[in-house]
Amino acid sequence: MIVLNLNDAKPFITKDGSQIRSILDRTTAPVQNQSLAQATLAPGTATQPHRHPHTEEIYYLLAGTARINVQNETRDLGPLDAVLIPPDALHHITNTGSTPLVFLCCCAPPYSDKDTVMA
């Protein structure tokens, strides 16, 4: 069993511009088939449009409000909303609120910069 705490995860900026803290992934544990991270976007900011040719993602909002675009379909989101992003789907998310947008990113296979293609 591996138990890790989010407070021990050091934040970094991904290729799409979001601040990420890896909770469980290949860099922190012997993870094989998925990864879990917390993403944060400041008010008024957005990730850059991108896709992951081989990775299925789930975003789960913890705090804040957002607008997400996946393959030209747009939806407004709030806390406790979950979004499935299929492999190779062009997507980006925008913080539409006045507080930080905080959400979990679950990826299968585990997140990799090599599988991130900017639009």
pTM over 0.75: yes
- pLDDT one digit per residue (tens) for the chain, 119 residues: 999 999 889 999 888 888 999 999 998 999 999 999 999 999 999 999 999 999 999 999 999 999 999 999 999 999 999 999 999 999 999 999 999 999 999 999 999 889 999 98
CB neighbourhood size of 47 (10 A): 18
The residues spanned by each domain of the chain are 6-118
State both tokens at 78. Answer: 């709030």
Task: State the greatest distance between any 2 C-alpha atoms of the chain, in Å, as a whole number.
Answer: 40
What the block records as the tokens of 84 is 């499935």
Which CATH architecture group holds 6-118?
Answer: Sandwich (2.60)
pLDDT of residue 14: 86
Per-residue pLDDT at 64: 98
- State the pLDDT at residue 16: 85
Q: Look up residue 19 and give its two tokens.
A: 């601040």
